Amino acid sequence: MTDTATGEPGSLDFSRCYTAVRSRDRRFDGVFYTAVRTTGIYCRPSCPARTPASANVSFHRTAAAAQTAGYRACKRCLPDATPGSPDWDVAATVAGRAMHLIGDGVVDREGVEGLASRLGYTSRHLSRLLTSELGAGPLALARTQRAQTARALVESTTLGLTDVAFAAGFSSVRQFNETMQEVYAATPSELRGRRVPASTTPGAIALRIAVRTPFSGSTLLRFLADRAVPGIEVAEVRPDGTGWYARTLDLPHGPGTARVDLADEDGPGTAYVDLRLALDDLRDTTAALARVRLLLDADADPVAVDEHLGADPALAGLVAARPGLRVPGHVEGTELAVRAVLGQQVTVVAARTAAARLVASRGRAISTGTDGLTHLFPDAATVAAMDPEDFRMPRARGRALIGLSAALAAGDLVLDRGPDRAEVRTALLALPGIGPWTADYIALRALGHPDIWLPSDVGVRNALRAHPDVDPAQWSPWRSYALLHLWTSLSDPPRPPLPDHRGE
């Protein structure tokens, strides 16, 4: 909710925010937080409590900002159990990119210096920038992230509280207890006493991922299932479109697996996707949760996207058929990039077969306890050490794959949400054999870019045959979602074209 007068992403329009609070508009949960001076608590905009007087409230872009200002989380609406702000991916400012890296646990693993280095700033300048933009510095933002993860683990698992503390990223049990008391005005034991844990399976972590609705889970599931690579991914799609998707995860402290149950959810509002994690090291809980959120495009604003795209007659029918369509992300940028090159100029089935051969021959075998999940995808250094003739593809493409992997292994190219997207694209295009389609497809799925357009894509051209005069520029800043609508429509049965009212 950018200030329409100033256009500054860090400012909030008080009138618009208060209107959202008065109407309990769930679309803004996670976009901003409402702090109430008379109670000392902060809430999500849709909190069912009585609307406070406007003179008694202030608005904050992050939960960390509200906590830094001295407020504690509302026990009724649980404001931290919300999707993240869609602004992080739309604007892709330094603050937004920092939020993704903090969510992945970078501050816990590498400190503020590590976060700043990834973003290309000094730690002092980054702290000033985040405080100005988000109302809190990197340490406060990371602290809030740890508290949110810990609360979810306390309330939804049977993990011992000591295990919860270290799984959430706290350096000590004392720090864990003090933070939970300060943020939630309750001890970890008191928080656990309020809810019955959802999982009693030893070694399993059962969580829920908040998503804004509508949520087209069935379409997302079909996309992932059609591209599932044996050994690292498995999926089940039921006749009604519901089902589940599971995959292996190569995490900072060890391997793991994640499984999500996907179905369509109506809205507007907030729904929850069930997630089950099995991790070799509990310290990877935060990173695993963050990467699955990116896979599901969990922070998207489907109402804004659908309203914008649905206004064009060329897309209106597609949007109406699949409200809440998501752009499938990915859990690992390196894997996505390698698979993108393997998929150049071949069918989805052929690309999946090529990836399966690579996994079987070069992937790291692991034991998961889940049928079909047997390997981790080979890392960049492993692929870079291969010979172009090892691939069943033209040698030029094999050399391109090895060159890409070498750049990734050396750190010359980074495909997480940290680097500037334009700089990543430039670096990709400088590599032999990497053209605009591949670079933009990587940006679409690995970098979460919401405004990618692939004019040379065969599927896109086929889907637009009925609308040869359409101008994709008018779909900005949501062209990535238009792409997914067009790709998905290719599997739809034929139907009469929608009337074109643009001349009226």
pLDDT band at 89 (very low <50, low <70, confident <90, very high): confident
Q: Which of 17, 43, 47, 77 is catalytic?
A: 43
CA 75, CA 185: separation in Å to the nearest integer?
9
- Cα Rg, the chain, nearest whole Å: 23
Supply 341's token pair: 């090159």
CA 171, CA 112: separation in Å to the nearest integer?
15
Q: What percentage of residues in the chain have a pLDDT greater than 70?
A: 93
- Identify the pLDDT of residue 91: 80
CA torsion sign for 187, 191, 197, 198 is negative
Q: Which residue has the higher pLDDT, 112 or 91?
A: 112
Contact 274, 222 (CB under 8 A): no
- Identify the pLDDT of residue 268: 66
pLDDT band at 300 (very low <50, low <70, confident <90, very high): very high
Instruction: Kindly report, residue by residue over 432-462, the tens digit of the pLDDT.
Output: 999 999 999 999 999 999 999 999 999 999 9
Q: Which residues pair with 242 in a beta bridge?
A: none
CA 167, CA 149: separation in Å to the nearest integer?
8
Contact 1, 13 (CB under 8 A): yes
Contact 247, 233 (CB under 8 A): yes
pLDDT above 80 for 7: no
Contact 302, 324 (CB under 8 A): yes
pLDDT above 80 for 328: yes
- Classified as helix, coil or strand, 231 is strand
- Identify the pLDDT of residue 192: 87
Instruction: Give me the mean pLDDT over the 20-28 stretch.
Output: 91
Ordered domains of the chain (ranges, CATH): 1-145 (3.40.10.10), 333-445 (1.10.340.30)
Instruction: Kindly report, residue by residue over 185-208, the tens digit of the pLDDT.
Output: 899 999 887 555 554 455 579 999
Instruction: Give me the mean pLDDT over the 214-239 stretch.
Output: 97
CA 435, CA 289: separation in Å to the nearest integer?
32
- Identify the pLDDT of residue 81: 82
Instruction: Give me the mean pLDDT over the 26-44 stretch.
Output: 94
Known catalytic residue: 43?
yes
Residue with tokens 């896979």: 295
Instruction: Kindly report, residue by residue over 380-389, the tens digit of the pLDDT.
Output: 999 999 999 8
- Identify the pLDDT of residue 502: 32
| Mean per-residue pLDDT of the chain | 91
pLDDT above 80 for 359: yes
Q: Which residue has the higher pLDDT, 404 or 270?
A: 404
Helix (H) or strand (E) holding 365: strand 364-365
Amino acid identity, position 179 = T
Q: Which of 13, 261, 281, 457 is catalytic?
A: 457
- Identify the pLDDT of residue 493: 60
